[in-house]
Structure 1
């Protein structure tokens, strides 16, 4: 019984450390989100060349990545210290879309990235099915 009590205490301490670092990560991501908002405003209102639309789209997708990571951390705390699988899948899909936008020089790579998105969408469908849903 004493070993079990020590394990529970150690687990609680580790959970508190994890929570503190996740809160720190949230602050850092929020700062980057603010910086990305500033850069999006500059691209939208100050630059009027052809590359500005490309930079705007790339910035928007990057913005959503920051937003999704912050939402994942919020969901972690609101769901009793649990990371839902589907949030990681959303982040993966968004990251691959950003990769396609940024690096679309090779048609074969773009096709492979598209297949990766298809696999993630199928995984998302399976993860949201009634048999696997935890929430």
Structure 2
């Protein structure tokens, strides 16, 4: 009798955790959507102010906007692809984040070189990921 109860509990735990994870991701996507709208209002403020020639701040805000956008897109893809995060979205986010760092913090040439090498490594990883076959051996059930 106890083995049956333990078996039922072991089947319920992953479902409860999946529901909790989905709820947290929906909540995170709502927060990111709010921040995305906030970035849009910042764009308008920067764009509408006369004499604002701080193009670095404008470009940095654009890249932050894309980071929020990519995270929201990744969450949408997670639900569309039956609870799976595509690796390529993490690579896109990494490349965008590194480009933002190069634009915003380009005072030290060695740091800029390292950021550029990170971008190169991410692009090589993306290329390798695209040339490998998608067929994977099926798991034994």
State how far apart, in whole Å, the 1-side matches of 2:124 and 2:86 are: 16
User: Normalised by the size of structure 1, how large is the TM-score?
Assistant: 0.92
CA distance in 2, matches of 1:117, 1:133: 27
Unaligned runs of 5+ in 1: none
Contact 1:61 1:98 in 2 (8 A): yes
Does the CA-based 8 Å contact 2:46-2:52 persist in structure 1?
no
Distance 1:34 1:133 in 2: 39
User: How big is each residue's C-alpha offset from its partner over 1:46-67, in whole Å with a ceiling of 9 and x where there is no partner?
Assistant: 142322x222111100000000
TM-score for both structures, normalised by structure 2 = 0.88
CA deviation string 1:65-88 (max 9, x = no partner): 000000000000000000011100
Residue matched to 1:43: 46
Q: Describe the SS at the equivalent of 2:131.
A: coil
Q: Which residue of 2 aligns with 1:63?
A: 65
Per the alignment, residue 118 of structure 1 pairs with: 120
Q: The residue matched to 2:70 in structure 1 has which SS?
A: helix
* Count, aligned residues: 133
Q: Secondary structure at the match of 2:21?
A: helix
